[in-house]
Chains A and B, each alone.
Chain A
Amino acid sequence: MVGYILRRLLLLVPVLLGLSMLVFAIARLLPGDPVALAAGPNATAADVASVAREFGLDKPLVVQYWHYLTGLFQGDWGVSIFTRRPVLEDLAAYLPATLELVLAAMLLAIGLGIPLGLMAAVFRNKWPDFLARTVSLGAISMPRFFLGLVFQLLFAMWLGWLPLSGRFPLTEDPPPHVTGMLTVDALLSGQFHAFGVALSYLALPAIAMCLSPLATIMRMMRASTIEVLQQDYVLTERALGLSQKLILFKYVLKNAISATLTVIGLYFGWLLGGTVLVETVFDWPGIGLYATQAVLTQDFMPIIGVTLCIGAIFVTVNLVVDMLYGLLNPKVRYQ
């Protein structure tokens, strides 16, 4: 077991290295001149050159990459040309918001997806199943940004039940910063009113994000449950008189959840990368918005930083999922 973990961890290194190289290469291919903007409208050629020197943009590409890599390990992820703030600082400020959104979406997706999938499997080929299947396909097909807009229109603008955008009311002080995730921080400090408020802001964006993974988890759950229910050992146990419920609990859940774990691992990364669209609609200050701003102003250090950050999180989550999977299913470990 330990060997398995170590091997996977070791693999992490070249992957992350390759990731950083790839992203750096792409980002530096950007045409356009963010230096000109930073230098101001009346900058002379000398000014532009000095700004370029300030950010080390006049050295050969390989040297720049080396500086970048060594800097990474020292905690220097570069400085955003546009905000003139260290990228790491920016990431630390923006990441918790995205994580909060992603975690909320995942919780919703799992919390609703698994029972719905079970239900669909148990009522297989009857109308709840068909309804669930069509609705789930619809959910996957729905563009998140459009759904977000419709939610805003319906629940915030026309009905006024939920807030329009943002994370917290402006004139109130947010709960003391621990994780940066407002709902968690509110709970940790016992401020239930603040928790409720933060939750109301989180609701619409999280629901908009969760539909796709919810649908997929539901389908996977349904598929693997059906498969398990048809297995010989289940039929045997049925024949021997064991109740349906017990069978479900014993085998179905265990096997089904292991399949769902994979989906969670996959979707976590997808969600992380896909928050851009929902963050744009709801003005949610996360790394998606930060990345968009960086892309639109061709600010390469943040682009690299965000991609590296998301990539690293994704790879780590996958590792954890793999390990959990290995725990559940020992055969996997010895591949």
Chain B
Amino acid sequence: MLTTTRRGVMAGGAALLAGMATGRDAQAQSRRILVMASNQDIPNFDPHVANGYSASMALRNTYDSLVGVAGNPPKPVPQLAQSWTISDDGREYTFKLDLAAKFHDGSPVNAEAVKYSFNRLLRLNRGNAWMIAGVVDQNSVEAIDATTVRIRLVTPFVPFLSVLPWVWIVNPAQVEANKGSDDGQAWLRSNLAGSGAFRLRRAEAGNLYEFERVADAWRKGGGNLTGAIWKITRETATQRLMVQRGEAQIAVDLTSEDMDSLKGRSGVNLVIEPEYRTFSMKMNTRHGPLQDANLRRAIAYAFNYQGMLDVAGYAELMKGPFPESIDGFDKELPVYRTDLARAKEFLAKSSTPNGGIKITVAHVSGLEQQRRWALVLLDSLRALNIELDIKPMIWPDMVSAARSPETTPDIFMVYQTANYGDPDNLAFAGYHSSRNGGWQNPVYSNPEVDGLLTQARAESDPEKRRALYVRFQRVLMEDSPDIFGVLEKRKLAMRSNVQGFAFTPVASNAIDLFPLSLG
């Protein structure tokens, strides 16, 4: 047994050297496969159940939706729907489908399929259903004829088109054939019933997913990729090195230090762009010492924002709940910055004028950035004589802790990503009391804010809408329920032979393969 291994090693070693010399990349080039390195797995391919950016990547390339999203600032673009009209009251949308659209099995993507898909999404009430919850119901979608779909909204919802890229259309025949007892979930978990430009070729759970371009895809144009691989690489340092060595063409999870390390390296382009991902520390306004608004304001003034920024790298400090590029951002909004004098002023007005209390902060264990920010917070609170207990929790625990004010920790760290470039997404999800008990807004409940947001959602006049959001931001700052943190810039490293990439500040890490080419 030993001799074979030794011989094998020698033979293998020789073959290895030979292999390195001939260049495996050449083989890959003739097949033009784009390798993306990410640390997120894709455990579920059901378009009406899965969530997370890795699933979004897989789904947006293997399925189609009525409209897509592109550009910076992001705008809806035609996809399955060639054109559309909106009624004057903003409640009726009529879409004309592209006649050429067909599923992978050849059948056309017709209005019935659209209706079926919407209804399935609503029925299962998982995945991205929350985006249309309360706006669309089982009677809303109507198939006027084979290529015309009319959607009647239950309540007016201005950002409706921004939501649609994440509602994917499935092939009803295939899903019905494999319905089983759970509405096809078991089957769709690992099988595709889509119409997208790509198909799944190889799936190795926890390791990689390989996509290949569909030979006779209905969507014309796009780039020259023959396939793509989503490689799960848990370590960001490894992702970086893969891009450096050309083993991967795109890395999506790099830290600021990784980007710095890649600066100036030949063959690597860095994409560092602002987007709609906010990071805040939400304070428990309904239970515990932070019910006291003055204490909250004191903490907001005591926090070491510069330290947070230093540690974050490529980021900007938030100026309130909205990123600057969102329509409705209030440029005049007064924000909290480190000011120990004012912090102590507010502390004196609070119910614990000398501090001397201990509060807890929860962050997702394993997320390095959050760990660092928690330590910055700990340091900041010492100036107020407040002790901080840092609890790394796994995400499921955080989600369940958010259920009630009593179990929610005093400070709750959370990233919010806008799936669409409209202020409603961030505002409603993060500050409307109907979302209490969920991780996006565990406890904050302010009737004035609720009123403003509900009104703004339905307001179709852009000027009036903006005014409502400005008021909302002012009320929020006064109330100070969050320590507004940073807007991390999106950091992507890309090999310079990747062409056709255009940055959109919405789900930019869910790489859209269609327009890409390898030069």
Contacts and interface: CB of A to CB of B under 8 A. Distances in A.
Q: Do A and B bind each other?
A: yes
Interface of A: 31-34, 36-37, 39-43, 47, 82-85, 90, 93-94, 107, 111, 156-157, 160, 164-167, 169-172, 187, 192-193, 195-197, 199-200, 280, 283, 285, 289-290, 293, 296-298
Residue among A32, A33, A42 with max Cβ neighbours from chain B (10 Å): A42
Contacts of B129: 42
Contact of A37 (B41, B233, B396): B396
Nearest to A280: B234
Contact of B15 (A33, A43, A166, A193): A193
A196 B19 contact: yes
A199 B8 contact: yes
A200 B16 contact: yes
A157 to B, nearest CB: 6
A200 B11 CA distance: 12
B205 A40 contact: no
B208 interface: yes
Contacts of B13: 196, 199
12 contacts: A34-B396, A43-B125, A83-B205, A171-B31, A172-B24, A187-B8, A193-B19, A195-B15, A196-B19, A197-B19, A200-B12, A297-B395
A293 B206 CA distance: 10
B130 interface: yes
Residue among A37, A107, A296 with max Cβ neighbours from chain B (10 Å): A37
A40 B16 contact: no
B306 interface: no
Interface in B6-59: 8-9, 11-16, 18-19, 24-25, 27-28, 31, 33, 35, 41, 43-44, 51
B5 A170 contact: no
B379 interface: no
A36 B125 contact: no
B27 A172 contact: yes
Contact of A296 (B11, B205, B365): B365
Given A40-B51, A41-B440, A170-B247, A193 B18 contact: yes
A40 B127 contact: yes
B207 A285 contact: yes
B20 to A, nearest CB: 9
A41 B394 contact: no
Contacts of A31: 397
A304 B14 CA distance: 43
B235 interface: yes
Given A164-B238, A296-B365, A37 B399 contact: yes
B12 A47 contact: no
A41 B395 CA distance: 11
A177 to B, nearest CB: 10
Residue among B12, B35, B206, B235 with max Cβ neighbours from chain A (10 Å): B12
**Which 3 A-B pairs give the minimum distances between C-beta atoms?**
A196-B15, A196-B12, A33-B400
Contacts of A85: 43, 189-190, 205
Interface in B245-263: 245, 247-248
Contact of A42 (B44, B207, B438): B438
Given A33-B399, A172-B27, A298 B43 contact: no
Contact of B208 (A83, A157, A170, A289): A170
B389 interface: no
A169 B247 contact: yes
Interface string B181-221: 00000000110000000000000111110000000000000
A36 B400 contact: yes
B439 interface: yes
Contacts of A285: 204, 206-207
Interface residues of B, number: 61
B187 to A, nearest CB: 12
Interface string B85-125: 00000000000000000000000000000000000000001
B94 to A, nearest CB: 28
Contacts of B399: 33, 36-37, 41
A37 B395 contact: yes
B358 interface: no
B242 interface: yes
Nearest to B25: A171
Contacts of A40: 51, 126-127, 130
Nearest to A82: B43
Contact of B12 (A164, A171, A192): A192
Contacts of B5: 107, 111
Given A111-B2, A169-B247, A283 B238 contact: yes
A199 B14 CA distance: 11
Contact of A297 (B16, B28, B229, B394): B394
A296 B262 CA distance: 31
B35 A94 contact: no
Contact of A171 (B33, B190, B435, B439): B33
Contacts of B438: 41-42
Given A199-B9, A285-B207, A298-B396, 13 more contacts: A41-B438, A47-B125, A82-B43, A83-B41, A85-B205, A107-B5, A166-B233, A169-B247, A192-B15, A193-B15, A197-B19, A199-B8, A297-B395
Contact of B28 (A43, A94, A171): A171
A269 B449 CA distance: 59
B396 A36 contact: yes
Interface in B167-192: 189-190
B396 A33 contact: yes
Contact of B394 (A90, A93, A111, A296): A296
B130 A42 contact: yes
A84 B130 CA distance: 21
B16 A199 contact: yes
Nearest to A44: B125
